[in-house]
Amino acid sequence: MEETSGTLCRFVAMSAFGAAVMLTVHQSLTSPAFAEGGYEKVEKAIQQVIAAPVDKEYGEYLAGECATCHSSHADPDAEIPQLVGRSSEDLIRAMVEYRTGYRDNQVMQTTMATKSDEEIASLAAWFASN
């Protein structure tokens, strides 16, 4: 009886450890992957996002996640950079620079790590037109 629960316990602990390792590996693969390739690779990724299909409604939906930090209306005193009314290309550039690890900011790198080209293009289009 005790033998069984001990084995079960070890199995659970090992699974948790495995998940943590996989998460770490995943993060190191997604984030600074481009940093070593120089800016050329970043630029290529930026151009790819600029060419990606845009869905502004989806962009608005995704932007809900950003509102906690980025004010959704013009606020000259805001400490976190404003996104509304900015050029779509500038926003795409910044977002891809975070996603590739070229721009170093933990919060924004994590936020962008899981965004697809289409999601970044849609976010930029929405912010640019608001």
* Residue nearer to ligand HEC on the CB measure, 14 or 77: 77
Tell me the C-alpha distance between 112 and 116, whole Å.
8
Q: How far is the CB of 99 from ligand HEC (least distance, A)?
A: 11
Other residues' Cβ atoms within 10 Å of the Cβ of residue 119: 19
Q: How far is the CB of 28 from ligand HEC (least distance, A)?
A: 20
Say if residues 111 and 97 touch (Cβ distance below 8 Å). Answer: no
* Residue nearer to ligand HEC on the CB measure, 4 or 114: 114
The candidate with the shortest Cα–Cα distance to 122, out of 27, 56, 67, 49, is 56
* Residue nearer to ligand HEC on the CB measure, 28 or 105: 105
Rg over CA atoms, the chain:
19
- Contacts (Cβ under 8 Å, ≥6 apart) of 31: 99, 101, 109, 110, 113
Q: How far is the CB of 123 from ligand HEC (least distance, A)?
A: 4
* Residue nearer to ligand HEC on the CB measure, 33 or 65: 65
The residues of the shown chain that bind ligand HEC, judged by CB under 6 A, are 62, 65-66, 68-70, 80-81, 83, 91, 94-95, 103, 105, 107-108, 111, 123
